[in-house]
Amino acid sequence: MSQRNHGIFPLVAGLVLCALLVPAHAEPTLESLNGNGPYDVASYTDFPEVEAFSEGAIYYPENAEAPMGGVAISPGFTESQAHMRWWGPRLASHGYAVLTLSTNQPRDNPELRAEALMAAVGILRDEHARAGSPLEGRIDVDRMAVMGHSMGGGGALIAANDHGEALSAAIPFTPWQRSPDFSNISIPTLIIAGEADRIASSAEHAWPHYEMIPETTPKAYLEFADGNHFIGNSPQRTRSNLDVHDVMGRYAIAWLKLHMDGDEAYRPLIYGEVPEADQAKLSRLVTNSTE
Ligand code: 9J3
C-alpha cells in the first residue's frame, strides 16, 4: 500500500464516521421552536441547598450533546416555581439545563430575586463539577442566562445589570421594577411584555426597562397584543388571558440559541420579518438590530 493511500483512508473513514455520528443540524423553523424540542427531559431536586432561595428543580435534556448552557428562572410576587414551571421542560427539551426556583419569601423584592437567580446560576455551574450529579461534566459554565416573571423579571434585569460578567443573556417576562437602573446591561436581553398588563403596565415597566438598556447591547422588546400580566406563566397556575406560549417560547429559545450559544441559524427567527401567523398576536416587536 502506498503512503498516499495509507494516508487518505483514515481521513475518508473519519469523515464518514463524523457524518454518521453528528446528527444533521436541521435548520430551525417556526414549527420546530413552537413546542418541545428534540431532547428527552429529566428533572431532579436533590442538589446542594443555598441560602438565597427555598426550593428549586433542575430540568435537563437527557440525550443532548454536552456541554449545555444553563438558565435560572424566578417567579413573581406571591408566586412559586409552580407558576412558571412550563419553561423548565420546554427549554430543557431544546438543550438547556434549567433551574426553576421558589424564593425564600413569596413577597421577596426584585433585589432578593436577583440574588436568588445568581445563586441558582452558581448551582448550575457547581453541578458541572459535583461528583454524581446528573449534569457532571455536561454544563458549559460560561453560558448562563437568567429569566423571571414580574418581580422575578425585575430580578433578572437587576442581575443582568449588576453581574453581566457572569451571564450571557436575560429574558424577563412581564417584568416589574419601579425605580430601575438598567443602564449597565451589556448582555443580550429579550423583554417579553403584555399590551394589556394592568399589574406591571408595559408603559411604566417593560418599555422603559427596554429603553434604559444601552443601544450597544443587543436587545429586543416582544409585546403580545391584549396580553395580561400572566401570559408567561404556567397553564396550571395562571390567570393568563391568552395562549401564546408557542410564540413566546420560540423567541426565547431563538434568543438563547443565537445570543448565548452563538448559533447564527436562529438569527432570522429574531430579526426576520414577523411571520404572518404571528402578526395578530404581537402588538410590538422592537429590536435595535437591522439584521
Ligand atoms: O411580581 C409581580 O407580579 C409584581 C406585581 C405587583 O403588584 O407588585 C406590587 C407590589
* 93 alpha carbon, distance to own chain's centre: 12
79-129 tens-digit pLDDT: 999 999 999 999 999 999 999 999 999 999 999 999 999 999 999 999 999
244-259 tens-digit pLDDT: 999 999 999 999 999 9
Known catalytic residue at 229: yes
pLDDT category of residue 13 using cuts at 50, 70 and 90: low
Q: What is the pLDDT of residue 235?
A: 82
Whether residue 273 is predicted with pLDDT greater than 60 in this model: the reply is yes
Q: What is the pLDDT of residue 212?
A: 98
CB-side exposure of 46: number of CA atoms within 13 Å? 4
Average pLDDT over residues 41-52: 98
Q: Which residue has the higher pLDDT, 7 or 136?
A: 136
CB-side exposure of 47: number of CA atoms within 13 Å? 31
For the chain, give the mean pLDDT.
92
pLDDT category of residue 3 using cuts at 50, 70 and 90: very low
Q: Which of 176, 177, 179 to mutate to test the pocket of ligand 1 (most atoms within 8 A of CB)?
A: 176
- Report how far apart the first and last C-alpha atoms of the chain are (Å, whole number): 53
DSSP classification of residue 179: S
Q: What is the pLDDT of residue 288?
A: 95
Task: Give the neighbor-by-neighbor strand order of the sheet with 219-224.
Answer: 41-44, 55-61, 97-102, 68-74, 139-149, 169-173, 189-194, 219-224, 282-287
Picking from 201, 209, 148, 151, the residue whose alpha carbon sits closest to that of residue 173 is 148
Average pLDDT over residues 61-70: 96
199-209 tens-digit pLDDT: 999 999 999 99
pLDDT category of residue 291 using cuts at 50, 70 and 90: low
Known catalytic residue at 183: no
156 lines ligand 1 (CB under 6 A): no
Compute, in degrees rounded to 10, the torsion defined by CA atoms 280, 282, 288, 291: -40
Known catalytic residue at 197: yes
Whether residue 285 is predicted with pLDDT greater than 50 in this model: the reply is yes
Which residue out of 83, 205, 229, 245 is catalytically annotated? 229
Average pLDDT over residues 150-173: 98
Q: What is the pLDDT of residue 25?
A: 60
Dist. CA 16 → ligand 1 center (Å):
56
pLDDT category of residue 180 using cuts at 50, 70 and 90: very high
Q: How far apart are CA 91 and CA 71, in angstroms?
A: 8
Are 96 and 70 in contact by the 8 Å Cβ rule? The answer is: yes
Average pLDDT over residues 187-199: 98
> Which triple of cell numbers denotes residue 150?
414580574
pTM above 0.95, yes or no: no
42 lines ligand 1 (CB under 6 A): no
Q: What is the pLDDT of residue 26?
A: 73
Whether residue 167 is predicted with pLDDT greater than 60 in this model: the reply is yes
Q: Which of 74, 109, 151, 197 to mutate to test the pocket of ligand 1 (most atoms within 8 A of CB)?
A: 151
151 lines ligand 1 (CB under 6 A): yes
